[in-house]
Amino acid sequence: LGSEEALRAIQVIADRVKFKALKEEAGRQIERIAADLGLSREQLADRLVPDFGLGEDAALVLDYGTRKFTVAFDEALKPFVTDEDGKPRKVLPKPGAKDDPDLATAAYQRFTALKKELRAVATDQIARLEAAMTATRSWSLEEFRRFFVDHALTRHLARRLVWTAETGGVFTGFRIAEDGSFSDAEDETIELPADAAIRVAHPVHLGDQVAAWAEILADYEILQPFDQLDRPVLAFTDEELETGRLTRFEGAKVEVGRLLGMTKRGWWRASPEDGGVEPGLAYKLPNGGFVTIELDHGIYVGAIGETPEQTLRGVHLTDTEQYWWSDEQYAKRKHPTNIDAVTAAEVLGSLARLTGRS
């Protein structure tokens, strides 16, 4: 049970299986194993990313005997091959009459298996990196080198992102160059402090350097695995923090399918009330409290198509997961005001995408 293969299998169940009871039990086992190792669940996940037998230079050469192909990866970690002249091929050719039958067949089968195995792993790793950005998760410089700079697989994603090194509250943006060195927003090589906290950069922490970074990635023709630099940076107004009401989004009419899509961004559907109607959606803030969306008419469980369009009747900051109040309750209700800039940008960004308002 303690082998990496077994732990990866449990991790897959915890992350992907739809059967709730099995998923929850796998999650509990992962939490227990991580705790026994003195790690968080995410720290354990860092250690379980497979390298698929890629070499130290992160290259996999497919030997056909008479010709060779090198495996490379795109922004979605999808593998493709280049020929001996470095020219990309749309597909790996099947072994031909002039190829060594044993070498070519083995190489072709290996690439076919790699593509299949990588699909789920790639999706998981991209999602983990985006989640790390929105949670402002950090790594030590040593961990960063081990899990991203030097890792044969994840380096292909890490090189497509902008990172920050934070020391003493100061954030320095950088990227990983092809040779494993670090470059700043002026494309100059830099050294990172040994005590730096490394994070996937959120535009909030890049400030006015976002445009410079976008230009650098464009110059190098680097595509990103998820929206990083293009992410909107929105903030709560003083009035919103004072009243706990986000009127800029209220009254917006939204297709129910788009509302359900919010569950992929950390929101969840409210428990059904009378008549099996879900009154809204909620998002739990990391420092306590919620953002809630009150819907008109609400989502009918088992009959979602009955209300294809919903109106956002109210959008609130609140201490409890609550969707509506009497006048007396509303006057007495409390709401969070200590919301960090990254969380604010993420919550407001998801509401802006949902409603088309900002």
Residue 144 identity (one-letter amino acid): F
Report d(CA 175, CA 214) in Å as an integer.
Answer: 12
Instruction: Extract the tokens encoding 251.
Output: 């009254």
Radius of gyration of the chain (CA): 24
Q: 356: which residues sit within 8 A by CB, 6+ positions away?
A: 252
Q: Is 337 helix (H, G, I), strand (E, B) or coil?
A: coil
Give pLDDT, residue 147. Answer: 96
The model's pTM is 0.88
From first to last of the 358 residues of the chain, give the pLDDT tens digit.
456 667 766 676 666 666 677 777 877 888 888 888 898 989 989 988 988 877 666 568 999 999 999 998 888 899 999 999 999 998 999 999 999 999 999 999 999 999 988 888 899 999 999 999 999 999 999 999 999 999 999 999 999 999 999 999 999 999 999 999 999 999 999 999 999 999 999 999 999 999 999 999 999 999 999 999 999 999 999 999 999 999 999 999 999 999 999 998 999 999 998 889 999 999 999 999 999 999 998 999 888 888 899 999 999 999 999 888 888 888 888 999 999 999 999 999 999 999 999 9
Helix (H), strand (E) counts: the chain: 12, 15
Best CA proximity match to 343, nearest among 112, 131, 160: 131
DSSP output for 205-269: HHGGGHHHHHHHHHHTTPPPSS-STT-------HHHHHH-B-GGGTT-EEEHHHHHGGGGGT-EE
Question: Of 248, 228, 225, whose CA–CA distance to 317 is shortest?
Answer: 248
DSSP for 45-75 reads HHHT---TT--TTS-EEEE-SS-EEEEEE-T
Residue 132: which H helix or E strand, with range? helix 101-134
CA quadruple 250, 256, 262, 263: dihedral positive or negative?
positive
Looking at residue 1, what is its pLDDT?
43
Residue type, position 163, single letter: W
Q: What was the pLDDT predicted at 31?
A: 86
